Amino acid sequence: MFKDRMIAFIGPGVMAEAMINGLIKNKLAGPEGISASGPELDHNEELHKRYGIAVSFNNSAAAQNADVVVLSVKPQVLDHVLPGLKGSIKSGALVLSIVAGASIEKISNGLSHSIVVRCMPNTPAQIGEGITVWTASKDVSAEQLEMTRQVLGALGQEIFVDEENYLDMATALSGTGPAYVFLFMEAMVDAGVHLGFSRKIAEQLVAQTVRGSVDYYTGRDPNSHLARLRNEVTSPGGTSAAALYYLEKAGFRTAISRAIWAAYERSQELGKSAKSHPPEQSGSNDQ
């Protein structure tokens, strides 16, 4: 599909590298069909050595021959990047943005280009185990939708949605989701240490319990409900019943629900005003 096509990555950071790696590993594109543009000369050189792709520190030069331009910069630099790219995107090229909170309208207006896909991946994409929710402007062709599926497939699973509002919902659920899971796991590990396990063993117990539970859930009958699985491990008067009583009493479900709703509202706010975005740490994976 990407034979004789050029894909340019504007912002060659962690997520872009995950995509480049996936595209090459899955033989969807060769190094000769990929370029990346970023401000760090040394980092660019490193990418060139690692993948054999063309590199540049000139965004518009990288974009101008590309059939797919991936915007993979951090949200706070997008306002500087869009004016620099304006006029350099080939007419008919696909712009694929993974920038959190940046609406299709913002990108289309910023580039004066109407063929735009907006995506929300998550951190496990870095090992090809992510899930990306995406949507497209009406000018994206059927072939470009298929190209998007393939590029995003390099990061793990992908789900197309036909309304952009779902992107804010996905930001709150799956985009931010790894943070909730890591916090939950961290709390379990600390509890294990409190009980008397070494941290190493507590971490192993927790990681494998989470991994095994997910595999058990996804490997079962698709109609099976999570509550049923939970009931299966909750014998009357047993240890799970005692623990679940405390979780419910502490408002565990409500806390999760409110947290995800807060992330959803924050995502909507960020989409409306770039100025309300708090400063992000360089190298942080914060969405």
Return residues touching ligand NAP (CB under 6 A).
10-16, 37-40, 43, 59, 72-75, 77, 80-81, 98-100, 120-123, 175, 285, 287
Q: Are the C-beta atoms of residues 130 and 155 closer than 8 Å to each other?
A: yes
Neighbour-count burial of 211, counting CB atoms closer than 10 A to its CB (0-12 exposed, 13-18 middle, 19+ buried): exposed
Nearer to ligand NAP, 103 or 202 (CB): 103
Find out whether 157 and 174 touch, Cβ atoms under 8 Å. no
Cβ at position 78, least distance to ligand NAP in Å: 7
CB of 282 to ligand NAP, least distance (A): 6
**Structural contact between residues 205 and 211, judged by C-beta atoms closer than 8 angstroms:** no
How far apart are CB 91 and ligand NAP at their closest, in Å? 22
Q: Is the CB of residue 48 less than 8 Å from the CB of residue 40? A: no
Smallest separation, CB 193 to ligand NAP (Å) = 28
Nearer to ligand NAP by Cβ, of 175 and 271: the residue is 175
Q: Are 119 and 71 in contact (CB under 8 A)?
A: no
Q: How far is the CB of 107 from ligand NAP (least distance, A)?
A: 12
Tokens of 59: 């965004």
CA dist 284 → 223, 228, 247 (Å):
38, 38, 31
Query: 34-37 and 7-10 as β-strands: parallel, antiparallel, unpaired?
Result: parallel
In the complex with ligand NAP, which residue's Cβ is closer, 94 or 99? 99
Nearer to ligand NAP, 98 or 206 (CB): 98
CB of residue 87 vs ligand NAP: minimum separation in angstroms?
16
CB of 249 vs ligand NAP, minimal distance in Å: 34
Q: In the beta sheet, which residues pair with residue 160? A: 134
Residue closest to 277 by CA, chosen among 108, 133, 70, 102: 102
Q: Token match 């005003």: residue?
A: 273
Report the alpha-carbon distance of residue 101 to residue 117 in Å, rounded. Answer: 13
Q: How far apart are alpha carbons 54 and 257 in whole angstroms? A: 45
Judged by CB, which is closer to ligand NAP: 234, or 280?
280
The residue among 110 and 192 lying less far from ligand NAP, judged by its C-beta, is 110
Nearest CB to ligand NAP, comparing residues 6 and 73: 73
Q: Smallest distance from the beta carbon of 206 to ligand NAP, in angstroms? A: 21
> CA nearest 160: which of 168, 149, 151?
149
CA-based Rg of the chain, rounded to a whole angstrom?
A: 21
- Shortest-Cβ-distance residue relative to ligand NAP: 13
Among residues 10 and 53, whose Cβ is nearest to ligand NAP? Answer: 10
